[in-house]
Chains A and B, each alone.
Chain A
Amino acid sequence: MASSWTGSGRSSLARDAGLFALAGAAGLASTDLLPLALLYVGPLTAARADSVVDALPQGLRRWRWPLKFLVLGCLLWVGLPHRGQPSFLSHLPSAPAEAVLPKKY
């Protein structure tokens, strides 16, 4: 939403809003369509976040790298296994015993 006020964000606002609504509706309607919705949302998020950072005052822009590393740290913290909590991979169903292919398939 903040990127809607930036120059690059405003130029494609109608298209992005329409496609974001479609992606959201498709992702909520079916888990089959959720990966396709995420495909669209990924580049949208990155480009619009960058446009917001570029529009920040100079004093605040120096904090963009610590902020990015904070996001990376959060991703790693949630994604990687750590003491007391299982990895997200452990939530995935295990291979059925009758599977012919290797376990990773």
Chain B
Amino acid sequence: MDWSLPVCFFNSLALALGLGLAGALLVLGLKPAALPYESLALGRTVAEASSLPRHENLVYSAPASQAFDARSWGYDLLAFLLVRNFGLSALRLGDALAVGLGLLGLAAAFFRRGARPFSSALCLVWVAWATLPDLAPGPPVWSWALAGLCLGLLEGSFWEAFFNRWVWLAPLVVLWVNLRASAWVLAPALALWLFLDGREADALRPQQPRLAKLAFFLPVAGPALPASPGLALAADESKSLGPFAAESGGLHRASACLAAAGHGVLEPGGLVLDRQRTLQPGP
């Protein structure tokens, strides 16, 4: 008897069930959390200023020189705009969407590593279950999802992935760095991945593989480095420093552009309306 069809059906069913069970575990079992008031307040400040404020203006007791807390300004702005436009349930839906995207990236990683469907389903459920106690709604879930998507892009035959998929790491890193400071972990991981892999003969391997790897690593992983907690502890004002949220220099303009772009996408005309509102004379 030919068992290939039943085995294929069983494996597909196991993988689908594993994905569903892992998703249900992560969405329904997330730690309860109060409304992220701090994120919403910070997001409102960023949205009203249409850029990142230089100094802290939410805490009355904070010294005037205290830098604005922009470690997760991307999430703050997004959360504020979502709640204002679509209500509180949009935050919950956003977290569920992040879990789904992260699981898809993770499933792609299983597939590209060559794991069998049943083993993949088992390990998917195990990862979801083991992750639950340390995962919380908001930036942690989004950070986890972006890491899963990055892993899905990274895995596979090295040079084929390098030339076909790794280019998508750049926008993911930009997003991740501005959502959560833990994005710095991608830099050492990417360095290890680049310089410990890709040595085997491959038709796609360039003549100068080290140069190609270095040319990829510096612009993609570089933005993640300034957000490291070590740097934040070393410099007094660097609490607010993400690579796209710097206090001064060219990257600050990038942060303003990103903030304005996010604001404009979610609320067309919002910048103009805000400016008009500030120009109106008081009663």
Chain A residues proximal to chain B, CB less than 8 Å? 8, 11-12, 14-15, 18-19, 22, 26, 31-36, 38-47, 49-51, 68, 71-72, 75, 79, 88-89, 91-96, 98-105
Q: State A104–B32 Cα separation when bound (angstroms).
A: 6
Residues from chain A with Cβ under 8 Å of B151 in the complex: 39-40, 43
Q: Among B130, B135, B192, which residue has its beta carbon within 8 angstroms of that of A15?
A: B192
Q: Which of A14, A38, A44, A104 has the most B CB atoms < 10 Å from its CB? A: A38
Contacts A43-B113, A94-B32, A101-B34 given; does A75 touch B123 at CB 8 Å? no
Interface string of B166-187 (1 = CB under 8 A from A): 0000000000000000100100
- Interface of chain B, helix or strand or loop or mixed? helix
Residues from chain A with Cβ under 8 Å of B135 in the complex: 35
Q: Which residue of B lies closest to A97 (CB)?
A: B34
Min CB distance B261 to A, Å, is: 27
Say whether A50 contacts B119, CB under 8 Å.
Answer: yes
Q: Which residue of B lies closest to A78 (CB)?
A: B129
Report the interface size for chain B: residues with CB under 8 A from the other chain.
52
Residues from chain B with Cβ under 8 Å of A105 in the complex: 30, 32-33, 91-92, 137
Say whether A38 contacts B127, CB under 8 Å.
Answer: yes
Which chain B residues numbered 109 to 132 have a C-beta less than 8 Å away from chain A? 109-110, 113-116, 118-120, 122-127, 129-132
Say whether A43 contacts B34, CB under 8 Å.
Answer: no
Residues from chain B with Cβ under 8 Å of A47 in the complex: 110, 113-115, 119
Residues from chain B with Cβ under 8 Å of A14 in the complex: 196-197
Contacts A36-B185, A96-B32 given; does A18 touch B196 at CB 8 Å? yes
Residues from chain A with Cβ under 8 Å of B137 in the complex: 105
Contacts A49-B119, A71-B122, A75-B122 given; does A35 touch B32 at CB 8 Å? no
